[in-house]
Amino acid sequence: MSADPITTHGVALPKVRRMRFQFGEPEPLHRHFVEGDIVFSHLVAVLSGSFPPGEESFIRSVRRFSDQITDPVLKKRVAGFIGQESVHGQEHRKLNTQLADMGYPLVRFLLFAPTSVRQKVVLRIEKLIPAKVHLAMTAAAEHYTAVLGARVLSNDEIQAIPGDPEVWRLLNWHAMEELEHKSVAFDVYRSVGGSERTRITVMWFMYFLTIPVVTAAVALSILLDPTAWPRPITVLRQTYGVFRGPLVRGILGEIHEYLRPGFHPDDVPTEELLERWQHDLFGVGGELVGYVR
């Protein structure tokens, strides 16, 4: 299997890989599956729980403009984006089922809350938001995930964090594909006449809200975990470690680049990093070749 991305007229197309991760096999997941780290385990769980509904919303935001996309290459990139995001949601739901069974109540709520009610609420909110604002939110969120993905894949300290191997394989694959499609929603936004003012304004809101909201969700998740209650000093120390560690430290500086007028996601060079991980995961003898259905 070649690791080279499919291209059309020199433009790389996101490749849809139908994956089959097996969480909890042959050994069951430990409750705090990032070895010995309560806070990092809850952070990964909260992010994993939020990915499927978030990615469904991203897909809808792009599909709302499908009839306005005239560039055939962009159409193919959109199809790849939608395919990749769909598979991300499917595989994270597998992990989320395990996490819910292990006692992560926020993940359980996101996974098992009445689908029809939740869907109606989300769709109603989306209808209240102008379509281009919704698309701008997706483009901004994709910048967040691309920055996080690049950090996960480029930092040896992050890669050395001990944890469940299958969870790490999922995160590395997801991070790699986020880099593959990092500019698709952005290019759709531009192609349908989205303004710089709206793009930047939307990111200003997300810039100030995302980390506090995620922090509050992780804190609530930990408060709902009775196994963490007897270890408050450990939790405080690990919280400090997450904020001062390589995943979060300095991240707002990288996110801030998006606020520059004229910014484009491809201004951030990730090609070499992406090619290396495409080869390591899906090249001949790659770590995840056997995972593709």
Tell me, what's the pLDDT at 112? Answer: 66
> Using CA atoms, how far apart are residues 171 and 168, in angstroms rounded to an integer?
5
Per-residue pLDDT of the chain (293 residues; tens, 9 = 90+): 344 455 554 567 999 999 999 998 878 899 999 988 999 999 999 999 999 999 999 999 999 999 999 999 999 999 999 999 999 999 999 999 999 999 898 898 877 665 556 677 778 888 899 999 999 999 999 999 999 999 999 999 999 999 999 999 999 999 999 999 999 999 999 999 999 999 999 999 999 999 999 999 999 999 999 999 999 999 999 999 999 999 999 999 999 999 999 999 999 999 999 999 999 999 999 999 999 98
Which DSSP letter does residue 6 get? E
CA distance readout (Å), 126 to 80, 111, 154: 23, 20, 35
pLDDT of residue 25: 83
Please tell me whether the peptide bond between 230 and the residue prior to it is cis, using omega within 30 degrees of 0.
no
Name residue 249's amino acid: R
**pTM for this predicted structure:** 0.93
d(CA 61, CA 137): 9
> Scanning the structure block, which residue is given the tokens 């303004």?
195
When the pLDDT of each residue in the chain is averaged and rounded to a whole number, the result is 92
